[in-house]
Chain A
Amino acid sequence: MHNIVTIIKKELARFFKDKKLVFTTVLFPGLMIYLLYSFMGSGFLNKMEGDSTYIPKIVVNEIPSEIEPLFQETKYDFRGFTENELDAVLTQIENKEIDVAIIFPENFEEDIQTHSQIPNVEIYYNSTKSDSSSAYRALIAVLSQYENTLSNVFDVNVDQSITYDLASEKDLTGEIFSMMLPMLLMIFIFSGCMGIAPESIAGEKERGTIATLLVTPMKRSELAIGKIISLSIISLLAGLSSFLGTILSLPKLYGGQMDGVNAMAYSMMDYVMLLVIILSSILIIISLISIISAYSKSVKEATTAIMPLMIVVMLIGVSSMMISDKGPSLITALIPLYNNVACMNGIFGFTLNPIYFAITLVANLIYTFIFVFVLAKMFNSEKCMF
């Protein structure tokens, strides 16, 4: 135990005394995710809403009298045009000089009143110009509203003061978070582990510093446990940084579309279980990366060899979107990494089966012990170490 603590202290000292390493491994990922998602969110929002000071230019052949007041409410710049000018108008839309052209068929109002035939209104726009797209959507809404008033037989959910969606804030939060966050968490955890483990094991081999440790009376298993624990602590910090960056920036990423979603819906117990399951995932991933690193001759070789594992972890992360409402079967709790994703899904979706959670923790601990044993054997193998 004494030697394990000594190794952990040395590894942590190596990490925390290197300010550049702390910044790039722990602070930078969270900060980058927050800034990136926030910028992406505001970019999406701008794209969706268009320029608020801009007045879209709309051309229309002839506005029916009943529709005119509805169009005027939009405060758009309406101008008329003749049928002869149609080609020129369409070219102008293509060139983004005009936003929308509306063509009402002849006898539009008469057809509506007599029901002799269904008139077709044509609206031309340019989807690559956001102002054109938003004006198109607004005009479609106006015309649909007008159409509803013509044939209104019954209404659905017309009373805006009543909340018809009975999903609670908790349900909504669970639904959204359980789909996305397990996958993002697994990717962040893996990135954190990948950033430090190859350097700590393959790097030490490459530099010849691990041999200096191997001539001491310390047991190989103590070295393996010490390395895995210290690397797990650092990876946990890296993973949590990315997680916090994601949680804080998600509302910005989704603009106003995450109304009703609230991370405070989770209890302290949920957060503790999440932390435990993150730790369990880190132990498995760090152990696997450590074994690959111990087998590799250099950091470069280790990083290349780890890539297939990264793809597997990402695919397993995506599986959180496919877990049914019934939840996964108990036997899957024995599959490392998938069991972590399923538990995260259960925690975020408030559907976690405690037995599944317990089996996952025990199974992953057993796997970690096996991996530590393998790593210790590799530290003892001159073929692997020299």
Chain B
Amino acid sequence: METILKVEGLKKTFTLSKKQMKLEKTKDKKKVAVNGISFDAYRGEIFGLLGPNGAGKTTTLRMIATLIKPDAGDALVDGSSIVKDPGAVRGKIGFLTSELKLEDFFTPNYLYDFFSNLYGVDVATCKSRKEKLFKRFGIDEFAEVKIENLSTGMKQKVSIVISLVNDPDIIIFDEPTNGLDILTAKVVTDFLLDLKKQGKSIIVSTHIFSLVEKICDRVGIIIHGEMVCADTLERIQDGMSMEERFFEIFEAHGGRIDA
């Protein structure tokens, strides 16, 4: 199997504000969000990052997407280093996370063309891709409606489509079905499986066990900023449900389930 993403020893420490220190109930100004995470993702597979809130999933994905810089370690995205050549990495990936918002004033149609332009996609390709994606997600019906007038599900569909304007081989989705109704969540899940069939590599972070069981080929479990295990779904599950197995691993690594 061809490695398309190689993550080696990624580390990230944040400085906490006084307010954050109070919230985290700590006197330590530094918080290690990601502590030497390493894993590989292969071409044409869906790799799931599973972990509780605050485990370091989003920070890891933000580093791979070059939104933030790692304190140590590196990741090679289809051969390009996130540290040495972040510009090249950005051109190769599609990144979706809840913190990336679309400007309310514009329409899906305008925004798709705008981002295509920034990725250097030629007009004809942009048009044909847009037609396919808009049809696939039913965006045609609200293509000329301003983002501010769309529902959460509609906005998420537009965000997904815009993250794919450059037809990337590596797609990084951070909690793609979070906050979506069951119908929109299914559209998104089916689409991820379609992308996999097209030979795309998908890294998806989630804490929804059913989603992991349904779409992931391999899974990495992150607890307290460390990758505690990464393997195929079958080997990780070890005959158990994903939920049962996760909590077993979680508790084995010092995790506590507070009431």
Give the interface segment out of B95-103, B133-141, B202-210: B95-103
> Which A residue sits closest to B110, measured CB to CB?
A13
A187-205 at interface with B (beta carbon < 8 Å): 204
Q: Is B117 positioned at the interface, with any CB of A under 8 Å from its CB?
A: yes
Smallest CB-CB separation from B87: which chain A residue? A217
In B93-115, the 8 Å CB interface with A consists of: 95, 99-106, 110, 114-115
Cβ contact of A215, chosen from B67, B102, B117, cutoff 8 A: B67
- Is residue B6 within 8 Å, beta carbon to beta carbon, of the partner chain? no
B117:A211 contact, CB within 8 angstroms: no
Answer yes or no: A3 CB below 8 A from chain B CBs.
yes
B118-A215 in contact (CB<8A): no
Contact B90 A216 (CB under 8 A): yes
What chain A residues lie within 8 Å of B162 (beta carbons)? 212
Contact between A208 and B101, CB atoms less than 8 A apart: yes
**Interface readout for B50-89 with A: 1 if CB under 8 Å, 0 if not?**
0000000000000001111100000000000000000110
- The CA of A146 and the CA of B5, in the complex, are separated in Å by 102
CA distance A214 to B100 in the complex (A): 9
Contact with A along B206-222 (1 / 0, CB 8 A): 00000000000000000
Q: In whole angstroms, what is the CA distance A3 to B65 when docked?
A: 20
B119 within 8 A of partner (CB): yes
Known A214-B67, A216-B90, A386-B67; contact A209-B119, beta-carbon cutoff 8 A: no
**Is B199 interfacial (CB-CB < 8 Å)?**
no
The answer to whether B119 touches A17 (Cβ under 8 A) is: no
Residues of chain B with a CB closer than 8 A to A13's CB: 106, 110
Q: CB-CB < 8 A to B65: which residues of A?
A: 215
B120 on interface, CB distance cutoff 8 Å: yes
Docked Cα-Cα span, A216 to B66, in Å, equals 10
A19 in the interface (beta carbon within 8 A): no
Are B103 and A14 closer than 8 Å at their CB atoms?
yes
**Chain B residues near A386 (CB, 8 Å)?**
67-68, 99
Q: Give the Cβ gap from A10 to chain B, nearest Cβ, in Å.
A: 6
Chain B residues with Cβ under 8 A from A18's Cβ? 105
A217-B118 contact in complex given A13-B110, A211-B67, A382-B67, C-beta closer than 8 Å: yes
The answer to whether the Cβ of B91 comes within 8 Å of any Cβ in the partner chain is yes
CB of A6 within 8 A of CB of B90, answer no
Q: Roughly how many angstroms separate A3 CA and B101 CA in the complex, as a whole number? A: 20
B110 contacts across to A, CB distance below 8 A: 13
Bound together, the chains give a CA A51 to CA B258 distance in angstroms of 84
Judge if A219 is at the interface, Cβ distance under 8 Å. Answer: yes
**Contact residues on B (Cβ < 8 Å of other chain), bracket:** 20 to 34
A217 touches B119 (CB 8 A): yes
CA distance A212 to B161 in the complex (A): 13
Contact, CB under 8 Å: B101 / A6: no
Which residues of chain A are near B101, meaning CB under 8 Å?
A: 207-209, 211-212
Residue A2 at the chain B interface, CB threshold 8 Å:
yes
A382 to B71, CA, bound (A): 12
Q: Are B118 and A6 in contact (CB under 8 A)?
A: yes
User: Are B100 and A211 in contact, with the CB atoms below 8 A?
Assistant: yes
Is A217 in contact with B68, judged by CB distance below 8 angstroms?
no
A218→B101 CA distance, assembly (Å): 17
Find the A residue at minimum CB distance from B105.
Answer: A14
Q: Which residue on chain B has the smallest CB distance to residue A219?
A: B87
Residues on the A chain within 8 Å of B115, using CB: 216
CB-CB < 8 A to A3: which residues of B?
A: 117-118
* Complex contact B90–A217 (CB within 8 A): yes
Give chain A nearest CB distance to B158 CB in angstroms. 11
Smallest beta-carbon distance A21→chain B, Å: 9
- Nearest-neighbour CB distance to chain B for A7, whole angstroms, equals 8
**Which residues of chain B from 153 to 199 have any CB-CB distance to chain A below 8 Å in the complex?**
162
Q: How far is the CA of A386 from the CA of B63 in the complex (A)?
A: 13
For residue B183, give the distance in angstroms from its CB to the closest CB of chain A. Answer: 25
- State the Cβ distance, B69 to closest chain A Cβ, in Å: 7
Q: Once the chains are docked, how many angstroms separate the CA of A212 from the CA of B111?
A: 11
Docked complex: A32-74 residues within 8 A CB-CB of B: none
Q: How far, in Å, is A207 (CB) from chain B's closest CB?
A: 6
User: Would you list which residues of chain A between 91 and 147 have a CB under 8 Å from chain B?
Assistant: none
**Shortest beta-carbon distance, B193 to chain A, in Å?**
24
With A13-B110, A215-B65, A215-B90 already in contact, the answer to whether A209 and B117 are too (CB < 8 A) is: no
By the criterion CB–CB under 8 Å, are A2 and B100 in contact?
no
Residue contact A14 to B106, C-beta cutoff 8 Å: yes
11 residue pairs A–B, Cβ–Cβ below 8 Å:
A14-B103, A17-B105, A208-B99, A208-B101, A211-B67, A212-B101, A215-B90, A216-B90, A217-B87, A386-B67, A386-B99
Contacts from A to B (Cβ < 8 Å): 2-3, 6, 10, 13-14, 17-18, 204, 207-209, 211-219, 382, 386
Shortest 3 CB-CB distances between A and B: which pairs?
A208-B101, A217-B91, A217-B90
Beyond the given A211-B99, A217-B87, A217-B120, could you list 18 further A-B residue pairs with CB under 8 A, ordered by the A residue number? A2-B117, A10-B114, A17-B105, A207-B103, A207-B104, A209-B102, A212-B100, A212-B162, A213-B118, A215-B67, A215-B90, A217-B88, A217-B90, A217-B91, A217-B119, A382-B67, A382-B68, A386-B68
* Contact surface of B with A, Cβ cutoff 8 Å: 65-69, 87-88, 90-91, 95, 99-106, 110, 114-115, 117-120, 162
